[in-house]
Amino acid sequence: MKTYAGGLKKGDFIIHQGSINQVIKTEFYSPGKGSALMHTKLKNVQTGKTVDYAFKSNEDVETVEVNSIEMQYMYKDAESLYFMNAQTYDQVAVPVGMAEGFVQYLKEGDKLYVFMQEDKALSVRAPLTVRLKITHTEDAVKGDTVSNARKPATTETGATVMVPLFVKAGEVVTINPETGEYVGRSAE
């Protein structure tokens, strides 16, 4: 299916230079003279490499029809993340590079949306938030009351997150996996 580059948005899948890419970022630019441009950041679904590319806004771009299916995260190895469809018990592998920014926040059993083209897994959508238990953090020292002071904490998945001084080991916190930022404490 074809569309104009001016209509591209984050999350779209397109064919660029012979391979499938996911649009990571878009920015419309209209100079005073000449044609408008759509600056994009594209991520190759096979290699995981990103590239910046500027399309003319009226340029034809071939889009790829993709389905989003909720799947359960099982485990990962050096190259892939493995997911299972809870309805069909089918298992798929997604290259680690497609979840590079948030893979350290995933734990077994998490449900995520996997983008599929026919029977091939292309990418994974990051969850909005994850709830993780803090396994280790230093106790706050009395007098450390600088506004918005933070300290490093290790989560059950091994990721390090900066948390407020009042957070203790054993507590469950909510984290934004795309940014790695602490969102708040979470009731168990």
Residue 94 belongs to domain with CATH number: 2.40.50.140
Q: How many domains does the chain have?
A: 3
Whole-angstrom Cα Rg for the chain? 20
Q: Mind listing the pLDDT tens digit for each residue in 24-49? A: 899 998 888 888 899 999 988 877 78
Q: Which of 125, 146, 166 is the last residue of a domain?
A: 125
In this prediction, residues 50-75 reach a mean pLDDT of 91
Cβ atoms of 46 and 64 closer than 8 Å: no
Q: What's this model's pTM, rounded to 2 decimal places?
A: 0.76
Same domain, 72 and 120: yes
* Strand partners for 23: 42
Q: Mind listing the pLDDT tens digit for each residue in 155-164? A: 999 999 999 8
Mean pLDDT score of the chain, rounded to an integer? Answer: 87
How many residues are present in the chain? 188
Same domain, 58 and 80: no
